[in-house]
Each structure stands twice: as C-alpha cells, then as structure tokens.
Amino acid sequence: MRTIDTLGYPIVVSSGGLAEVARIVEERAPSHRYVIITDDNVASHYLDHVSASLIEGSGRGVTSDRVHTVVIPAGEEHKTRERWSAITDTLLAYGCGRDTAIIALGGGVIGDLAGFVAATYMRGIPVVQIPTTLLAMVDASVGGKTAVDTPAGKNTVGAFHPPAAVMIDPATLASLPARELRSGLAEVIKHGVIADRSVIDEVEAIMPALLAARALGAALEPMIERSVRIKADVVAADERELGLRKVLNFGHTIGHGVEAASDYVLLHGEAIAIGMVAEARLAENLGIATVGTAAAIEDAVTRAGLPSRAPDGMAADRVLALMRSDKKQRRGVLEYSLPKRMGEMAGESSGWAIAVDDSIALEVLRALANRE
C-alpha cells in the first residue's frame, strides 16, 4: 500500500484496496448515509464487493439500509446535466441530508458526474473517488475537477470539489478492456514528459506484463504511484489552474482537435498520444524543444501500443478548426503547453502556456496528416 498525501486528502494505491473501503470512508468521510454511484459495466464487476466491504468492514455499524446505490448506463453520453439532475432527485427521494457521502466507483465519467453531484448536493457533501480505469486512476480522480458535458462542449458546467479521499485499486484493471488500458498509458507518458522521464521507463518495464499475462494489481502500483505523484505535485502548486497546472494540458490542444475530428472514434488517450507527438514537433520547430524530443515521445507511445500519427484522411484544417472551438484560447490565439525536453516543460515566463500562430501549427498538422 502506498499513500500520496500532498493534496490534503489521501490518495491510496493498494492492490486489493477495495476490501479496505470501509476504513478509508469512515476515516475521511464518516456519514450517516452512503450513496455509491457507478455505471453498469463497473457495477457488474465491483459493486457488490464494494458495498459488502463498506457494510462488513465498518467499525461503526453501517447497515445495508444506509448504503444506497445508483447505477447509470456506461458512456460519456451520460455525463450530462440531465443525469446530474436525475441522480440528485434520487438522493432527495432517499431522504439524503448533508450527512451523506458519495462514493464514485468507476472511470472518469463516473468520477466527474458523481463528483459534480457531490459538489452541488446540499451545497456540497464529501465524495470518495474509487477510480477503476487507468485514466481515472492517474488523472481524473486526482485534483478535484468535476463536470458534466453540455451541447456546447465537454466539461462546460462543473466545479472544483476535491475528494475526501481517493482509493486506487489496480487489481480492478484486470477487467478493463486492453484498449482502454493503453489509452490510460498516454496520460502516464504525459506525466513522464512534463516532470520525470524515468516514468516512461517504468511504462516500458510493465508493458509485457500488461499485454500478456494481465498480471495486474501489485505490479502496477509503482507506476501508478509515480504518475499520481506528478499530477498531485502540479495540482498542489496550482489547484485552480492559474498557471503551472496548465502543463497537464501537454498534448491536449492538438489532441482534443484530433479526438473531435475522429468523431470520438479515437479514445481520449489515443488522441492525446497523437497530440503529444505533434505538439513536441511544434516545440522543436519553434526552437523551444531539444531536437529528438518528438522522436523520443513517438517511441514511447508506439511501445505502449498507441498511435502517433493522425488516421488517414484526417484533414489538417478540420483539426485546426476543432482546436479553435475548444476553450484554451487567449485573445483568439491558440495556446499550447510545450516541452523543453523529456521531463521538463517550457513557458514558465508566460504562465506555462505558449501562444502559437495558426500557420505554424498548420505545418505540423499537415505533416501529421500526410504521414511524413
């Protein structure tokens, strides 16, 4: 078991940790009622286990009538205001008061949605995050951002609501589809690029186990811990994303454009892998990054089984147009978080965001599309 404590709430990485849910919940979010919010995929694997370990592991006599469950269909299309409102109504119907804690059991969709319910219910009640995808473990569950999507865009309505605790049980990754697992590795690689290149060696070291035996669990603890620590350190320095937290957007300006241009056929991490390679190339072209940075990132994402080039037929101007409709703009000029070299980001003097003219970005996007 490893605990990261830099954010004021514990982030526990423990294979088999689901069995310890009662301990962490009672320590960090002792409440009269508990509501476990999850999706139908995750529920079929882990809901009974989590609710049983909450009831049976309780030292304070949590009885089954005090543990409610809300199961929604899986998928980003359910991260909506409508779901938020329906879940809130369910809590009201159960008679949940301020002495209620939410347990968010699932991937980033559940973490964001259940977190937003917790942020707003009775002006804010505790949430314990139990992430079950690699992406949610190393990224979404850490840092306190919660949100829902609207027709105007992803995460357009939300709140900062730090969790009371995060319980990461890598053993839950055994049931995660391999493609989702690889997608999560993109964020781990991103953490390596922004702060510590040795994290990338860690990814390479666990790849065989990850792809072959699926001998997950304890073997993944060190990689997850290091990745979480990097994100936690960045968030601790800048919780509200006024400056340094922007480095976490590396790969995401182009990545979001690529993700949207694929009509979300690409998973988030796949698009980010492509975005990281492209943005590193952009940084090299601008003379910001050491030559070879993009090649090193391309090598890392390829070894992780992630794509590094845009799919055939993806037009550069469409990607750019979609990047422009995303939100990271300052006075109409697109901004990027760019690396200096592996393990170090550029842009400290400009708030870690670098404005780049579209014509320069277009060159990189065209090369990306043409598979140069």
Which stretches of the chain bind ligand NAD, using CB under 6 A?
Answer: 39, 41-42, 45, 74, 76, 79, 106-110, 112, 132-133, 135-136, 139-140, 143, 145, 154-155, 172, 175-176, 180, 268
Sign of dihedral through CA atoms 154, 156, 162, 164? negative
Q: Say which of 28, 190, 226, 245 is annotated catalytic.
A: 245
CB 204 within 8 A of CB 303: yes
| Secondary structure class of 308 (helix, strand, coil) | coil
Q: Say which of 190, 246, 256, 341 is annotated catalytic.
A: 256
Q: Say which of 241, 328, 363, 366 is annotated catalytic.
A: 241
Instruction: Kindly state the smallest distance separating residue 283's Cβ from ligand NAD, in Å.
Output: 22
Q: Whose Cβ is closer to ligand NAD: residue 26's or residue 270's?
A: 270
Q: Whose Cβ is closer to ligand NAD: residue 272's or residue 280's?
A: 272
Instruction: Kindly state the smallest distance separating residue 154's Cβ from ligand NAD, in Å.
Output: 6
Q: Whose Cβ is closer to ligand NAD: residue 26's or residue 279's?
A: 279
123: annotated active-site residue:
yes
Cα separation, 304 vs 161, whole angstroms: 32
Instruction: Kindly state the smallest distance separating residue 187's Cβ from ligand NAD, in Å.
Output: 7
Q: Say which of 231, 281, 309, 341 is annotated catalytic.
A: 231
Q: Whose Cβ is closer to ligand NAD: residue 76's or residue 358's?
A: 76
252: annotated active-site residue:
yes
Burial class from Cβ neighbours inside 10 Å (0-12, 13-18, 19+) for residue 106 reads buried
Beta strand 354-355 with 333-336: parallel, antiparallel or unpaired? antiparallel
Instruction: Kindly state the smallest distance separating residue 217's Cβ from ligand NAD, in Å.
Output: 12
191: annotated active-site residue:
no
Cα separation, 13 vs 18, whole angstroms: 10
Instruction: Kindly state the smallest distance separating residue 86's Cβ from ligand NAD, in Å.
Output: 18
Size of the chain in residues: 372
Instruction: Kindly state the smallest distance separating residue 367's Cβ from ligand NAD, in Å.
Output: 27
Instruction: Kindly state the smallest distance separating residue 270's Cβ from ligand NAD, in Å.
Output: 11
Q: Say which of 28, 182, 187, 281 is annotated catalytic.
A: 187
Pick from 23, 39, 29: nearest CA to 9 = 29
| Secondary structure class of 34 (helix, strand, coil) | strand
Name the residue number minimizing CB distance to ligand NAD: 108
Q: Whose Cβ is closer to ligand NAD: residue 173's or residue 289's?
A: 173
Q: Whose Cβ is closer to ligand NAD: residue 235's or residue 342's?
A: 235
Q: Say which of 60, 123, 327, 331 is annotated catalytic.
A: 123
| Secondary structure class of 105 (helix, strand, coil) | strand
Instruction: Please state, in angstroms and as integers, the Cα–Cα distance from residue 184 to each residue in 77, 187, 192, following that order.
Output: 19, 6, 13
Cα separation, 150 vs 55, whole angstroms: 36
Write out the two tokens for 250: 């590396």
Write out the two tokens for 282: 């952009």
Q: Say which of 33, 182, 226, 268 is annotated catalytic.
A: 268
Q: Whose Cβ is closer to ligand NAD: residue 39's or residue 279's?
A: 39
E strand map for the chain = 2-4, 11-13, 33-39, 67-72, 100-106, 127-131, 145-150, 153-160, 165-168, 329-330, 333-336, 339-341, 344-345, 354-355
231: annotated active-site residue:
yes
Q: Say which of 28, 83, 145, 191 is annotated catalytic.
A: 145
Pick from 350, 364, 353: nearest CA to 320 = 364
Cα separation, 248 vs 194, whole angstroms: 8
Instruction: Kindly state the smallest distance separating residue 334's Cβ from ligand NAD, in Å.
Output: 20
Q: Whose Cβ is closer to ligand NAD: residue 179's or residue 324's?
A: 179
Cα separation, 104 vs 42, whole angstroms: 11
Residues designated catalytic: 123, 145, 187, 231, 241, 245, 249, 252, 256, 268
